[in-house]
Structure 1
């Protein structure tokens, strides 16, 4: 169906994660970005933009994005860090309409978007604590830092734009329910409940993440914040031929 502005003035948000662009993907994503542009007002890319974090993969994505005529907000994922070329990726994406979020926010119409990559650590009563070897403490501290960055971004958004709805971008999951289906043994590496706390505290409307390729499309935090796992494989498993989720806010 063709894109139509909502009579209620709501913003149409398209979201997908884990597109894993390869350096041989020239032309593969052009139609995708054209369709998203026709149906949404903003596109959210929830990490793993590239397959192995190579500069050549980012260059392909930058070229494909020329077909996208709406704003694009994104966070990086673990695959984007794999090649240890994050600064190069950032410079490439800075030449496009794609804006990376990492503890900051962007306002588009009636919605404020805040984003961080997030990290692992486990969920609920199985969340890892700050105890034991330094390596374990460093693992936990990384998630704490990401949660604090997210909370700070949402706090600043509240301070400067208290009338706006708030939407969060993540790569790692903030709740367990949207990664269920993945082996329980790897849940600590798929996300962390520490990322849920800012969503509840700051009255977020919705949050999107990827990373878990065999999870559930939708869940809710303890206070009812809607959370969507928009990993490309999850969307395809749920019948989305063109893999993006559309939400009006």
Structure 2
């Protein structure tokens, strides 16, 4: 009888929640040694995994990445990240990737990783505009190249989610981006620059692959929360947005 009761209790016990901390646009500078140690320690106490949604460095310099690598020693939980536009500024991405590969930070770029009952994937994304104002593949080659970059990023994300589905269909799916997939989370920014803050092409894979939630940064004067046309939660976790929303230590907690 005791065994039966234990079995019933086990069946009724909810699985442990995975605590996800997310933040974007930390913009680490060369002079930031020591600045982020307390942040990473606190995150490690309050979450099980940390998501960094791009602009890890301020100008994409190798020296800035080395400072971040040193600060990450204070972080005792897995760190998943995508790169942002600032990380590309000095064309040192290969060096940044090499530095981060020696830390507990895993860069996602069209691939995925699994932590407990959650599958994570991510891409940087790109601009292009939203909804009926989304740029089309027309006109000068430079314009076509701009649009093609957004298409490529969306296809990369869709392929990663498809692979995650085929190998781990039972898992909840979380997506990291730098650029926004919907207009709602860039609201507050001047309309004139919306096309450079994200693209609706990134929304399509989220809807098609039944993603649970998506985190991005980039739009510093945007809005914390929105959702796609099918109800996928989207969070703009850029540091300035979190601070504006009252987060003293800028990270957003989400449980799955």
Q: CA offset at residue 8 of structure 1?
A: 4.0
| Alpha-carbon distance in structure 2 between the residues aligned to 1:199 and 1:153 | 11
Counterpart residue number, 1:3: none
Superposition map of 1:156-175 within 5 A: 156-175=163-182
Q: CA offset at residue 10 of structure 1?
A: 1.4
| Alpha-carbon distance in structure 2 between the residues aligned to 1:230 and 1:36 | 14
Q: Secondary structure at the match of 1:207?
A: strand
Counterpart residue number, 2:127: 120
| Alpha-carbon distance in structure 1 between the residues aligned to 2:191 and 2:62 | 33
Say how many residue pairs are matched.
244
Superposition map of 1:1-249 within 5 A: 8-249=15-256
Q: Where do 5+ consecutive residues of structure 2 fail to align?
A: 1-12
| Alpha-carbon distance in structure 2 between the residues aligned to 1:155 and 1:113 | 12
Aligned-residue Cα RMSD (Å) equals 0.9
What TM-score do the two structures reach when normalised by structure 2?
Answer: 0.94
| Alpha-carbon distance in structure 1 between the residues aligned to 2:174 and 2:139 | 35
| Alpha-carbon distance in structure 2 between the residues aligned to 1:106 and 1:228 | 20
Higher helix share: 2
Counterpart residue number, 2:5: none
What TM-score do the two structures reach when normalised by structure 1?
Answer: 0.97
| Alpha-carbon distance in structure 1 between the residues aligned to 2:223 and 2:85 | 20
| Alpha-carbon distance in structure 1 between the residues aligned to 2:166 and 2:115 | 16
| Alpha-carbon distance in structure 1 between the residues aligned to 2:157 and 2:115 | 18
Q: CA offset at residue 7 of structure 1?
A: 6.0
Structure 1 stretches of at least 4 aligned residues deviating more than 4 Å after TM superposition = none
Q: Secondary structure at the match of 1:148?
A: helix
Q: CA offset at residue 171 of structure 1?
A: 0.1
